[in-house]
Structure 1
Amino acid sequence: MFHSNSMIQSNPAGARERRSFAGLQLVLALLLLATCSQLLAQEPDIPPPFPIGPAPVLHLEQTEHDWGTVLQGTIVKHTFRIENHGRAPLRILKVTSTCGCTSTRHDEWIEVGAAGVVELQVDTLDFSGGRPRKNAVVRTNDPESPEIHLWMMGLVDPLLELESRVYKLQGLSFETKRLTTTILPATETPLELIGARSKNGSFSVHALEPLEKGWRLTLEAGPSETMGSLRDDLELLVDLPERKAVAIPVPVVVEHQDRIRMIPNGNIVFYRRHTAPLDGPVRREVKKELQVRSVRDDLPFEIVSAEIVDAPDGLFGIIVTEVLPGHHYKIVIEVLRTHPVSQAKGTLRIRLGESEDQIREKPIIAQFRLRRPDTP
């Protein structure tokens, strides 16, 4: 009896614990429901993944065409077939091709169950060998395929063997630049190099002479009043049997160089880490050096004057030192003080003579760390 009464007396406490746990579960469930409701209320309307109603479905069996191996100058054409497997007309909105690949024709509308075409062609004249890969981008009204890429690729056998992929005519601006090179046939196909010319007139063809095998070509660029590089194309006119003569383009760079060389070559820049000592606890000089040298021993020069123009007053200082008479000068540029704006500019103007063509200029840039007004 005693044990039975003890068991009966212990049940109320267990019941209270179960009721308390059930109540805690209910509270947590209500909190979770309230949180989810709040998140759903904040969630924006999600658009349907597909347009409501019939839509076109683009089907393309082939996205790449390999033309195998062709001779340089061959125009390769291919037709890509596009089918409409949807329930609405398919429209080709636009065909955009990369350089060297062109779209010759495409069907604008393709009815349900029908097929259309996109015709592409590649002119291999610009490819002197290798395996070019060109593509076109087709934009459609298919919601699943709004943009597709079509590829044209293959090997190109060059017509000519050149000593360089880019011809360079380099020399001083006041001198005539000349380059002589040998050109060989690169194929067993009979061909004749019948002429050569500059596309933009930056240089001239001085001579084209036949050899026992191949040709000797001499290019020439005359003096120029300005320094700098010019880019042009050499067009090599090649006559092929039973084909129209083709003009093979070869890049040419003409460099009219100065008789002096400045080191460093680019702008003179004082970054913030350079100018920071101007307003720091320990003040230090902020300087940079520019070396000016003659490019040849037989071309001495003299710096008549040097100054910094178009700059805030008193911001820069300059000292010119002759290291090797007639051949080497050192110019020291110094930032003398801080500046209220984050960047200041000027121009170093060096005069080598009295005429305007004897002036050389180099940009100077100084950057500064700005302090708040309450900063000591």
Structure 2
Amino acid sequence: MVRTGRGVATVAEAPAGSRLKSRIEEPPVVRHVARFALIVILLSPAVASAQEWARKMFKETSHEFGVVARGAKVEHRFTLQNLYKEEIHIAGVRSSCGCTSPEVTVDTLKTWDKADIVATFNTRSFLGSRSATLTVTIDRPYYAEVQLHVSGYIRSDIVFEPGLVQFGEVDQGAGAETRVRVSYAGRPDWRITDVRSANEDLEVEIQEAGRRGGNVAYNMTVRLKKGAKAGYINDQLTLVSNDGYRESIPLAVEGRVRSALTVSPTPLVLGSVGVGDEVTKKILVRGKTPFKVVSVASDVEGFRFDVDSESEKATHFIPMTFRAAKSGKIAVVIRIETNLGGSCVVELPANGDVKAVEVSEPTGPSE
């Protein structure tokens, strides 16, 4: 028996006294394995190419949660966008570890539509260093799988109660506040030295609530300022401690500030317009109390607004005229300012498509 580059082969020995003749014979199983290996090698580039079209739809395929507290709400959104003419269907998503739960926000995407794969870190049931692979399965227009990777470290010595700052629904101008208790078990000299946030609409007050041995507790009051702008809040606070190596601990902040004003239609659709043509629309602005419209403006030329800045009422109709100067797509934001203050500025998105005017060549008289 000899070993060849393709596996184990048998050698038939020549009878004694005859000319040496050897014949290497491959068993049938070896031949089948060799053929299968060759097929896999030949198909590997095609399979990789097939997966690549799906991977291109994702902005990122990995995320590091960092060091987080036990019980904290920790999630990350992997955004994908359909870049193709065909409709995309996401059949499902699975996780390799119970430490991360995946969810698909939209499973069917037309061209340019977007969806999120939401990865939620299970900080209540798991501790320590954890990682997971999320496999997204697409079954239309072609089958493909995309793998997303997440990892992080869940601290067992720090607990948030509740696991996030949740303001809920807040009327614009009203402000709000909520409380979170931070508990620590470990070093007797542990303390929170700072709380940071990039959101200027948030204020934080923190007080030590108790210290006994290695158990330390803080009460944290988080306030949403009255001047907070309308819209969704999806932010985080960063607690800084004297831990050194793992001194930063994130805390999620969520909520929604309801605008004191509503505007319709939203968005404002101008439709298809020829160069030089005019389009007229009416913008409806409503408030809970009477107000004045101070000004209306856009960042694109060609818009004209008929504003009655003297009338104070709860409902305003604002006539708008748009004259198309050049061809191309239009994507503009119309800003409506009122006398209710700087925080009560309404931004209305508008879109349309300006078509070039086709000029036909004059034809001479037929002979």
TM class by shorter chain equals 0.3 to 0.5
Q: Please, what TM-score do these two structures have when normalized by structure 1?
A: 0.40
More helix by share: 1
More strand by share: 2
Q: Please, what TM-score do these two structures have when normalized by structure 2?
A: 0.41
